[in-house]
Structure 1
Amino acid sequence: MQALLCYPILFTLFAFNVILLQGLLSILRNLRQSPEQQAHLLLLGLDNSGKTTLLKQLASEDISHIVPTQGFNIKCVQTSGFKLNVWDIGGQRSVRPFWRHYLDNIDVLIYVIDCSDRTRFQETISGQLKGLLEEDKLATVPLLIFANKQDLTTAISASELVESLNLHTVRDRMWQVQACSALTAEGLQVNTAHTFCKRCKRCLDKYFHVTEINKSFFER
């Protein structure tokens, strides 16, 4: 009798796993198979959000002269044996339509928000970020949001940003919001992205293990 009761539960779990399996295994394959533990990160955000400054801080480079990204920058950041390959794509309105060309084989999506400019929140909330989360190529891809420019008195906090973005309704992926200032480097350590990637990997490893168990149950 107990076995019969467990069957619908396992079937529901298996059905849910099948829906997410393709995207998750793609991410998992990238994070598991590389002997040097590397991840491919896509860095996006509106123009003037501080993406390039943030990336230079992560790479321990000079930030005294920052030029707005017109196309894209690529940085390889290494920490504790973990390699982060980061693509920084320009955020100007004329460049945003081309974002979708960089969505393949991404392990983590990083989105930078200028928390001091409330006039552009709607542009992010109902426009760019919402559209990205609906992209098929980014389905289940973990999301790391940097709540930037916390050094300015007009900036909203990370918790306020979570509420503004309604992130509590996002249930199809892992997400994290990190308060930071790309200018002062406060709250901005390369270990932030590194730790998030490792956290994603641990969760995906557990998911992969559970999925294999459920698959073996139905393959008997």
Structure 2
Amino acid sequence: MWKGPSWVLLLLRPYWRCYFPNTQAIIYVVDSSDTDRLVVANEEFHAILEEEELKGAVVLIYANKQDLPGALDDAAVTEALELHKIKNRQWAIFKTSAIKGEGLFEGLDWLSNTLKSGGG
């Protein structure tokens, strides 16, 4: 989820659809240290999954900011985003720390291998 003032997010949302055609994968980055915003992140995430042009896309979720104290682990983020509800597409979640470069390549490797094997 793009982090910024709510009004900016509302202004940009209509333009997201410009990028949907022919999308094979979604990379969704969650601030796992900001538990207050996970409710909104969940709502936005599931709204994106409902978009018709994204129905076949595989999903990579980064539970980012694992370097911060109190960050939720991947199991807790899985629960918060209700990933168990995703039945019709491939998905994976990886714990990451973008600032330390941890977990990023593992997620991209999964995504690359999934797309090569016919996912998305």
TM-score by length of 2: 0.86
Structure 1 regions of 5+ residues with no counterpart? 1-44, 49-90, 205-220
Cα deviation code 1:83-125 (max 9, x no counterpart): xxxxxxxx83432231111111111110111111111111111
Deviation of 1:197 after TM superposition, in Å, equals 2.3
1:112 to 22, 25, 29: 29
Q: Which among 82, 87, 96 is matched to residue 166 of structure 1?
A: 82
Aligned to 1:200: 115
2:58 touches 2:90 (CA, 8 Å); kept in 1? yes
The aligned residue for residue 123 of structure 1 is 40
Secondary structure of the corresponding residue to residue 109 of structure 1: strand
Q: CA–CA distance in 2 between the matches of 1:196 and 1:102?
A: 18
For residues 162 and 92 of structure 1, the distance between their equivalents in structure 2, rounded to whole angstroms, comes to 24
Distance in 2 (alpha carbons) for counterparts of 1:157 and 1:94: 32
SS at match of 2:42: helix
Partner residue, 2:17: 100
Structure 2 residue aligned with 1:157: 73
Structure-1 separation of matches of 2:102 and 2:9: 26
Structure 1 stretches of at least 4 aligned residues deviating more than 3 Å after TM superposition: none
Partner Cα distance (1:198, 1:150) in 2? 24
User: Would the aligned equivalents of 2:39 and 2:80 in 1 still touch at CA under 8 Å?
Assistant: no
In structure 2, the gaps of 5 or more residues are none
* Alpha-carbon distance, 1:203 to partner: 4.7
- Match of residue 137 from structure 1: 53
Q: In structure 1, which of residues 177, 188, 191 is the aligned counterpart of residue 93 of structure 2?
A: 177
Q: Which has the larger radius of gyration?
A: 1
Instruction: Classify the secondary structure of the residue corresponding to 2:88.
Output: coil
Tell me the TM-score normalized by structure 1: 0.49
When structure 1 is superposed on structure 2, of 91-100 and 167-176 the one drifting more is: 91-100
Deviation at 1:165, TM superposition (A): 1.2
CA–CA distance in structure 2, aligned partners of residues 163 and 195 of structure 1: 21
CA RMSD of aligned residues (A): 1.8
